[in-house]
């Protein structure tokens, strides 16, 4: 079996071999499993997968929430050397079906409660509470050696796609290993650490949660949904040492006046990613966790979780000021290279961030999505004023290509500051959303001729979505209800307003600024 830390399971197996029954690996819903317990449970579930499939499957979906089954299932798939594809129980069944088809799943491990009466286009291995409990006892079956190697796909995550179908992002074991080799020592992770698990498994920072803990011998401590609404109580009750979340968690806690100075004394490290971290929110969190080192980290799924880091100085008086009030995203990890390119593909101090290196994914599941998302660049010619060449999909995609993040950054005092998206992609509560995907689903609704979705900055600078459309007016609840059948809740707009015509700018393009201005006018209410 592969235990050399070249695969995700190898990282866990090394900790299981070192700590066995002496160290808790997982605490969830009042249940505690040691490394030996979790290893055995994953082995039993892996055996059930082999029996169900008649051999080792290639790609396995995981439809489960914050339960022992979810974490054992994750490890069971990795133990077999198969590729994991997480499915979010909160997403509609129609989306699961699209992902199952796009990923070519062999079967799905499902929590029976999360599955409900939904049907999927692949075989399902469903487990109720009693069956899940049975996985805690009995012999561990003989299993084939884990056949995965560094160049095999560890997991596939699906992000929002502008064509109306989610895009599959395969991430290799070597991509994740390069990431873990950097972050585990950086954040001083080890057996005395207790790591938060705030992210859903379909959101790639969850890989940090799981394998920063399991790759270092630490304990993964899973919060309940109520815990996420009261992070201070969760941190203190569970003695959390390492926190990682989207900044909106800090925003909500601050709004509820929960971030009292000194209220989280156990925290040693606090990491924020997925959204812009404002200096105001960072300052409030730091005051509440005075013994915690605070870092802002950044990275798209395609660059394996996070790829830049900025550590705020111990003295808040030394914190940098930025033009948009956000904490810098810092500098790329030492193993990565980056370029900042202008619209013409030349080097600049203010432009699109492009990255390559061992954490860069190998290309989208559908190769057609690779066109336009990568560039080649002659570094020496570039320094002298050369230009990047956009990858058009022809010819091989190699490790020498730079991934275009689509994010605008600017250098400030040697650090990168994130200035937003260059396209119509936004992040809400840490989820990356292509507005075009929502618009595509809107256009499929009866009577809708044109559709535009805009992101609006609301309270505490949190973003929400609003939709505009032309065609036959429909009750907003009815139209938005149709979207909920196809899209996750975070992608459903707050309102939908019918218009006689969409406003256009002088170039003939939809004037999104005019739509945003319309929302700001009390005399133009939006249907809700």
The 10s digit of each residue's pLDDT in 350-364 is 999 999 999 999 999
CA atoms within 13 A on the CB side of 339: 26
Q: Where does 238-313 show beta strands of DSSP type E?
A: 242-245, 269-272, 293-298, 308-311
Q: Where does 197-255 show beta strands of DSSP type E?
A: 219-221, 242-245
**Dist CA 101 CA 454 (whole Å):** 30
Given a cut of 90, whether residue 386 has pLDDT beyond it is no
Q: What is the mean pLDDT of residues 433-455?
A: 88
pLDDT at position 523 is: 45
pLDDT at position 250 is: 87
pLDDT at position 491 is: 93
Cα–Cα–Cα angle for 408, 410, 412, nearest 5°?
155
> Considering only 33-47, 240-254, 263-277, which range has the smallest mean pLDDT?
240-254
Confidence of residue 295 (pLDDT cuts 50, 70, 90): very high
pLDDT at position 1 is: 42
231 contact partners, CB below 8 Å, separation of at least 6: 223, 243, 245, 249, 250, 253, 258
Strands 59-63 and 83-87: parallel
Confidence of residue 507 (pLDDT cuts 50, 70, 90): low
Confidence of residue 2 (pLDDT cuts 50, 70, 90): very low
Q: What is the mean pLDDT of residues 454-475?
A: 87
Q: What are phi and psi of 343, to 5 degrees?
A: -65, -25
Q: Evaluate whether 418 touches 332 at the Cβ level (below 8 Å).
A: no
| pLDDT one-digit tens code per residue, 301-314 | 999 999 999 999 99
pLDDT at position 510 is: 82
pLDDT at position 286 is: 95
Range among 163-172, 212-221, 371-380, 484-493 rated most confident: 212-221
**Dist CA 128 CA 51 (whole Å):** 18
Confidence of residue 385 (pLDDT cuts 50, 70, 90): low
Domain 425-519 class, CATH top level: alpha beta
Domain ranges in the chain are 1-171, 335-421, 425-519
> What are residue 219's DSSP bridge partners?
194
pTM above 0.75, yes or no: yes
Strands 389-390 and 124-127: unpaired
Given a cut of 60, whether residue 381 has pLDDT beyond it is no
Q: Which fold has domain 335-421?
A: Luciferase; domain 3 (2.30.38)
Q: Indicate the average pLDDT of the chain.
A: 91
Given a cut of 50, whether residue 215 has pLDDT beyond it is yes
pLDDT at position 433 is: 87
Closest by CA to 427, choosing from 273, 282, 307, 292, is 273
Whether CATH 3.40.50.980 fits 1-171 = yes
> Considering only 80-84, 191-195, 382-386, which range has the smallest mean pLDDT?
382-386
pLDDT at position 461 is: 67
pLDDT at position 312 is: 97
pLDDT at position 254 is: 85
> Considering only 104-118, 205-219, 375-389, which range has the smallest mean pLDDT?
375-389
Q: What is the mean pLDDT of residues 81-107?
A: 95
**Dist CA 449 CA 376 (whole Å):** 39
Helix (H) or strand (E) holding 354: strand 350-356
């Amino acid at each position: 079996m592969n235990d050399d830390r070249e695969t995700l399971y190898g990282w866990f197996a090394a900790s299981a071999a070192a700590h066995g029954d002496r160290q808790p690996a997982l605490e969830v819903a009042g249940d505690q499993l040691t490394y030996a317990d979790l290893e055995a449970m994953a082995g039993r579930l892996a055996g059930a997968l082999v029996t169900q499939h008649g051999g080792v499957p290639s790609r396995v979906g995981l439809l489960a929430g914050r339960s022992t089954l979810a974490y054992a299932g994750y490890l069971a798939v990795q133990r077999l050397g198969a590729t994991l594809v997480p499915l979010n129980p909160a997403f509609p069944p129609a989306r699961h079906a699209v992902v199952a088809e796009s990923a070519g799943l062999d079967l799905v491990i499902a929590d029976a409660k999360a599955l409900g009466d939904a049907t999927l286009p692949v075989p399902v291995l469903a487990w109720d509470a009693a069956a899940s409990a049975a996985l805690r006892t009995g012999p561990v079956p003989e299993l084939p050696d884990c056949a995965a190697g560094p160049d095999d796909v560890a997991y596939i995550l699906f992000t929002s796609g502008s064509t109306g179908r989610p895009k599959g992002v395969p991430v290799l074991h070597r991509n994740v290993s390069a990431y873990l080799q950097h972050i585990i020592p950086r954040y001083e992770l080890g057996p005395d650490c207790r790591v938060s698990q705030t992210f859903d498994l379909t959101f790639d920072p969850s890989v940090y949660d799981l394998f920063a803990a399991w790759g270092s011998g630490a304990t993964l401590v899973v919060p309940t949904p109520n815990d996420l609404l009261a992070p201070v109580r969760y941190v203190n009750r569970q003695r959390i040492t390492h926190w990682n979340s989207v900044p909106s968690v800090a925003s909500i806690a601050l709004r509820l006046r929960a971030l009292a100075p000194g209220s989280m004394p156990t925290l040693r490290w606090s990491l924020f990613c997925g959204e812009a971290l404002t200096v105001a929110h960072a300052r409030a969190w730091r005051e509440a966790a005075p013994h915690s080192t605070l870092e802002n980290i950044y990275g798209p799924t395609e660059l394996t979780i996070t790829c830049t880091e900025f550590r705020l100085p111990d003295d808040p008086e030394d914190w940098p000021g930025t033009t948009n009030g956000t904490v810098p995203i810092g500098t790329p990890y030492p193993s990565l290279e980056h370029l900042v390119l202008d619209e013409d593909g030349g080097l600049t101090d203010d432009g699109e961030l492009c990255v390559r290196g061992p954490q860069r994914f190998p290309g989208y599941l559908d190769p057609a999505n690779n066109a336009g998302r990568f560039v080649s660049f002659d570094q020496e010619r570039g320094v002298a004023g050369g230009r990047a060449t956009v990858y058009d999909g022809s010819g091989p995609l190699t490790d020498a290509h730079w991934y275009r993040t689509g994010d605008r950054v600017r250098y400030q005092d040697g650090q990168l500051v994130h200035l937003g998206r260059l396209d119509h992609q936004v992040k809400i509560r840490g989820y990356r959303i292509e507005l075009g995907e929502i618009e595509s689903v809107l256009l499929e609704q009866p009577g809708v001729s044109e559709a535009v979705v805009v992101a609006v900055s609301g309270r505490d600078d949190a973003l929400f979505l609003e939709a505009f459309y032309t065609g036959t007016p429909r009750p907003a609840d009815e139209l938005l209800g149709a979207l909920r059948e196809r899209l996750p809740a975070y992608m459903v707009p707050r309102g939908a307003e019918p218009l006689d015509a969409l406003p256009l700018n002088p170039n003939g393009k939809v004037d999104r600024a005019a739509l945003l201005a319309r929302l700001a006018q009390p005399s133009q209410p939006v249907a809700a």
